[in-house]
Amino acid sequence: MGERGGAMTDSLRSIPLAPLVGTTLREHVLAGMQAAPGATGEFTSLLNHISLAVRIINARVRQAGLAGMLGYTGETNVQGEEVQKLDEFANDVLLNVLQRSGHCGVIASEEMATAVLSAHGAKYVTLFDPLDGSSNIDTNVTIGTIFAILRRSDPNAPPSVEDALRPGHEIAGAGYVVFGPSTMFILTTGQGVHAFTLDPTVGEFFLSMANIRCPSRGKIFSVNEGNYGSWSPEVRKWNDWIKSEQHPGGPYSHRYVGSLVADAHRTLMKGGIFAYPADARSPKGKLRLLY
């Protein structure tokens, strides 16, 4: 967000950060707040609440096989997907923590049919997928949480769904959490992309990679080739070309986890291509723009 027309905002977007490896996530967002003219601390507090929620989710993910949290609830969500027990748990945790923060006028989740209109006068909208890749839960494959934060145009107006229907360049902060061999919190507030790794012995996220840049070219492409037969001829031609000897620089290797967080995280770190093309069953594509 930053300054526009002289108005001060409570975002970290305009702050030139110089993050140091070993800094905690709390310290990182606090430093941004202290350097932001007119900051009230609400944005910082909201990020810390999200951090709390994902630490709670992480604890349950790590114990899922012992705590009876594997398998389905028997319900189907608004996307037509079977709801996993951990899906439901993660959604409830994020919703409850965000509501208690008092900073969110609108909360929307991939697991909920409608947005929750919450605190009147709150400045922010938070959108999330509580547990991406949940079909992989039972096989102990990497899953994750995705979130984005928007600033409401008029915090004094009654919250409405329209507060969430905003262009991506208005996002104040966004990120994802990877529940893999380690738990990583990837965050941007408009001044670089930074990764924080959870130290379970102290329950804190510590900066482990600062100012991450995706390599300009990688060697891996990630796409669900099980949908090959239902793609358009143009997409099939592209898919064949990308892994052929005729491709400049040689063929790409294929890797596909089936969890957007896992596949996108690998692509960010290693470079390459991630795609989920439209097909006959999903002519407008399957991945959702909000989360």
Domains in the chain, please, with CATH?
Answer: 25-209 (3.30.540.10), 220-274 (3.40.190.80)
**Taking the CB of residue 270, how many other CB atoms lie within 10 A of it?**
13
pLDDT at position 204: 96
Please tell me whether residue 217 adopts helix, strand or coil conformation: coil
Answer whether 46's CB lies under 8 Å from 124's CB. Answer: yes
Q: Mean pLDDT of residues grouped by 10 in the chain (291 residues)?
A: 38 50 88 75 95 97 87 80 89 97 96 88 96 88 97 93 93 97 96 95 95 94 96 97 90 94 97 95 87 79
Q: Return the structure tokens found at 281.
A: 């069953």
Q: Which residues of 10-44 are buried (b: 16+ CB within 10 A; e: fewer)?
A: bbbbbbebebeeebbbeebbbbbbeebeebeebbb
* Residue closest to 210 by CA, chosen among 25, 3, 83, 46: 25
Which sign, positive or negative, has the C-alpha torsion 178, 183, 188, 192? negative
pLDDT for 16: 43
CA distances to 101, 106, 257 from 262, in Å: 29, 27, 7
Q: Which of 175, 178, 121, 113 is nearest to 144 (CA)?
A: 178
pLDDT for 66: 84
Bridge partners of 116? 107
For residue 235, how many C-alpha atoms fall within 13 Å in the half-sphere facing its CB?
A: 17
Q: Which two tokens stand for residue 97?
A: 């923590």
Residue 83 tokens read as 């709801």
